[in-house]
């Protein structure tokens, strides 16, 4: 489970990958704690038994429960300090906000209050800001990868690029068909930017460690292009957001298991629509007291 990448950089692989970094005082800084206590317990055991040290701090790349879900568990047992990006950090302190945002800002339905979306709340001690810096005894470069979340950050240490969810592995693209996005305009920039990050190896939030990010960026972009093409063809006639969702999920064979699954996907479709409106490919009309989208 523990893979060593450089003298001081390790990754504890799992459903969500956890970076394990040796700091200048011999203690460890974690990058993302993962979804739950089961994963965090394994990471704690590795740090104590295999590396013979303690956890000093947690760096959280973004405010999604599968990345910070075990923060509270780790903090209780180690008193580690927590750093997270501005805006996203609010979700660490108030995890319900993730479901609230997915549900359009309203009191979310119970099917969005799952363990996958609703983590235990935990503290935030400092903000992750872009730039080259020494943080918790580790020299690192923090880069903005906003788009997948409002303010997602990537972290580069010793030529290892922890790129969070700017890309998803093939298995995820294949299974979910339209990966979650907060904003497509910024996400496209983040994908381009990722190609310019000098690194020897890439540790994505999910999936195997890669030698470079180019192949993964290309496959993730292909999924976006496929989604845009399908959306534009659906919008040959004006449609409401919900009708667009139904048509798009049908055309792209997107699995929708329950209402929670639908509400999780709907904001991503809205992110595509606001981007396409920004680049003047679609626009809105008011029809029969509702908003419909159409091609320009
Ligand atoms: Zn995420």
165-187 per-position pLDDT tens digit: 999 999 999 999 999 999 999 99
* Nearest-5° Cα angle at 223, 282 to 61: 100
Model confidence over 53-112: pLDDT tens digits? Answer: 999 999 999 999 999 999 999 999 999 999 999 999 999 999 999 999 999 999 999 999
Residue 106 alpha carbon to ligand 1 centre in Å: 21
226 touches 178 (CB < 8 A): no
Which residue intervals of the chain bear CATH 3.60.15.10? 2-223
Residue 66 alpha carbon to ligand 1 centre in Å: 7
- CATH class, 2-223 region: alpha beta
Task: Provide the CATH number for the domain formed by 227-295 in this structure.
Answer: 1.10.10
CA dist 23 to 1, 109, 134, 160, Å? 20, 42, 10, 15
Neighbours of 14 (CB within 10 A): 17
Tokens of 158: 């010793």
Q: What is the pTM of this model?
A: 0.96
Alpha carbon distance, N-terminus to C-terminus of the chain = 51
Q: How many residues does the chain have?
A: 296
Which residue intervals of the chain bear CATH 1.10.10? 227-295
Tokens of 83: 């750093």
Residue 268 alpha carbon to ligand 1 centre in Å: 12
DSSP letter string over 226-293? HHHHHHHHHTTS-B-HHHHHHHHHHHTT----SHHHHHHHHHHHHHHHHHHHHTTSEEEEEETTEEEE
Ion ligand 1 contact residues with beta carbon within 5 A: 64, 165
């Amino acid at each position: 489970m523990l893979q060593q990448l450089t003298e001081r950089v390790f990754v504890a692989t799992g459903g969500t990958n956890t970076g394990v970094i040796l700091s200048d005082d011999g203690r460890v800084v974690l990058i993302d704690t993962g979804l739950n206590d089961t994963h965090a317990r394994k990471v704690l055991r590795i740090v104590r038994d295999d590396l013979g040290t303690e956890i000093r701090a947690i760096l959280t790349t973004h405010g999604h429960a599968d990345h910070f879900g075990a923060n509270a568990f780790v903090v209780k047992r180690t008193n580690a300090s927590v750093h997270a990006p501005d805006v996203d950090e609010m979700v660490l302190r108030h995890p319900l906000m993730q479901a609230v945002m997915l549900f359009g800002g309203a009191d979310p339905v119970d099917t969005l209050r799952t363990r996958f979306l609703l983590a235990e709340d935990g503290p935030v001690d400092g903000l992750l800001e872009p730039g080259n810096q020494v943080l918790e005894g580790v020299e690192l470069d923090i880069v903005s990868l906003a788009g997948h979340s409002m303010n997602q950050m990537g972290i580069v240490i010793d030529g290892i690029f922890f790129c969070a969810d700017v890309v998803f592995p093939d298995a995820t693209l294949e299974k979910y068909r339209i990966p979650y996005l907060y904003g497509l305009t910024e996400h496209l920039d983040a994908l381009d930017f990722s190609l310019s990050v000098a690194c020897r190896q890439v540790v994505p939030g999910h999936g195997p460690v890669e030698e470079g990010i180019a192949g993964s960026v290309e496959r993730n972009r292909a999924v976006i292009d496929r989604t845009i093409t399908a959306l534009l063809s659906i919008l040959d006639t004006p449609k409401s957001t919900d009708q667009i969702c139904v048509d798009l999920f049908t055309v792209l064979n997107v699995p929708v298991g329950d209402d929670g699954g639908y509400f999780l996907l709907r904001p991503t479709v809205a992110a595509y629509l606001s981007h396409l409106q920004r680049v003047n490919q679609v626009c809105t009309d008011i029809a029969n007291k509702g908003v419909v989208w159409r091609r320009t």
